[in-house]
Structure 1
Amino acid sequence: MFIRDEAQVESFKEGGTGSNSSDMKQPDFMPDKFESGTLNTPGIAGLCEGIKFIKKIGMKEIYKHEVLLTEYLLVELKKLDYVKIYGPKDLKDRCAVVSINIDGVDSSTVGYKLNEKGIAVRTGYHCAPLIHNVIGTNNKGTVRISPGYFNTFKDIETILKSIVDIYKQ
């Protein structure tokens, strides 16, 4: 971009104050006024590769795999009477996210114990505190399990076995 010296152009993006990196305000002199930090080049490259992957595999195939894993997870969780499943009971109105609680075990404890086994879940209020008043979990949150394309049926079996073990402890 070329801006003549006499032109009065406001900056359109600010942040990462460049040559004045100790200042909180964007510089008002040229060219620094228009140089707002370093672009997230690794993030841009990663996004590009992610899009290439999705185009190669196809969204329908990714979705199909996630649905099969989620269905298996739900079927097996329903067999455990000490596990409360939140949300739709079937796949019709559900994506690959399953929120649960285990009777008598705090959701953060479940998350901690699963993490110890290398299983990543999310616990708590999931940036949606008001829904917890509706589903009755406002004092404990939930454990959120999100099967993805890179998960396997063995991964689902591992989390199911871990849930049984946590309840027994």
Structure 2
Amino acid sequence: VEEIGRIARERDILFLVDAAQTIGVLDIDVRKLHIDLLAFPGHKGLYGPQGTGGLYVREGVKLQPLKQGGTGSFSEELDQPDILPDMLEAGTLNTPGIAGLAAGVNFLKKMGLHQVRAHERMLAQRFLEGLEKIDGVTVYGCPKKHGEIAVISINLKNLDSSELAFLLDSRYDIQVRPGIHCSPMAHRTIGTIERGTARFSFSIFNTVDEIEEALSALEEISREMG
């Protein structure tokens, strides 16, 4: 990311980074990484409710708002305010959602980012080690980076990812996200556009026992498939 950001900055190209899976998990220094815009959700690594998120805008970057009106500030003006963040916040803000997001961020600050990441990496590594012993499991992503983020996508033998997710949910009360995860181009690249993948995501609230239960469930399904 830093190298791409440096090249973009040298060529006066705006650099937007999607931090959907890394905000609240990795240290992100927008200055060091030469990031102009950083988009992030509130309901993943920041432990906020769905429907929340944010956009970091580097000082000096000018954006054109997609929507206008109802900012609640400079109400006497007919045009959208030209100051941040007002110019990008049309309409009534999701105040309850923002309060929930603030609670999530405060929880994360209290726990400590490094403690949360260490726990998640431990769970991810344990899960990956267990997957190696299960017949028919395919793990996607860069092998050298497996476990860096506690989000692991797999397929099992010839099962569609939705079928695997249904079995895990209905028989073992384990919830994973199947499909193409809002990333059709990524799935075309790895050859899973038709079946998708089943995505396991671990957090500070998950336990080693739950990892073992998930591995046991996958092992049982694999054996039944022959």
Shorter-normalised TM range: 0.7 to 0.9
Matched, 1:148 2:217: no
Tell which deviates more after alignment, 159-168 or 46-55: 159-168
- How far, CA to CA, are the matches of 2:91 and 2:183 in structure 1? 33
- Structure 2: state its 5+ residue gaps: 1-71, 82-89
Matched, 1:165 2:224: no
Aligned Cα RMSD in Å?
A: 2.4
- How far, CA to CA, are the matches of 1:72 and 1:3 in structure 2? 54
1:9 match: 78
Across the two proteins, how many residue pairs are aligned to each other? Answer: 144
Residue 50 of structure 1 aligns to a residue in which SS? helix
2:108 match: 54
1:18 match: none
State whether residues 105 and 167 of structure 1, in contact with CA within 8 Å, keep that contact through their aligned partners in structure 2. Answer: no
- Please list, as runs of the form range in 1=range in 2, the aligned pairs for 1:44-123 lying within 5 A after superposition: 44-91=98-145, 94-116=148-170, 117-123=172-178
> For the structure 1 residues 81 and 50, does the alpha-carbon distance in structure 2 shift closer, same or farther, using more than 3 Å as the test?
same
Of residues 127, 130, 140, the one that matches 2:182 is 127
Counterpart of 2:79, as a letter, is E
State the Cα distance separating 1:90 from its structure 2 match: 4.3
- Structure 1: state its 5+ residue gaps: 13-34
State the Cα distance separating 1:61 from its structure 2 match: 0.3
- How far, CA to CA, are the matches of 1:154 and 1:60 in structure 2? 22
Tell which deviates more after alignment, 136-145 or 81-90: 81-90
> For the structure 1 residues 102 and 10, does the alpha-carbon distance in structure 2 shift closer, same or farther, using more than 3 Å as the test?
same
> Larger Cα Rg: Structure 1 or Structure 2?
1
* Structure with more relative contact order (C-alpha pairs < 8 Å, separation 6 or more): 1
- How far, CA to CA, are the matches of 2:121 and 2:77 in structure 1? 55
State whether residues 74 and 89 of structure 1, in contact with CA within 8 Å, keep that contact through their aligned partners in structure 2. Answer: no
State whether residues 111 and 143 of structure 1, in contact with CA within 8 Å, keep that contact through their aligned partners in structure 2. Answer: yes
Matched, 1:43 2:97: yes
- How far, CA to CA, are the matches of 2:181 and 2:74 in structure 1? 46
State the Cα distance separating 1:141 from its structure 2 match: 0.6
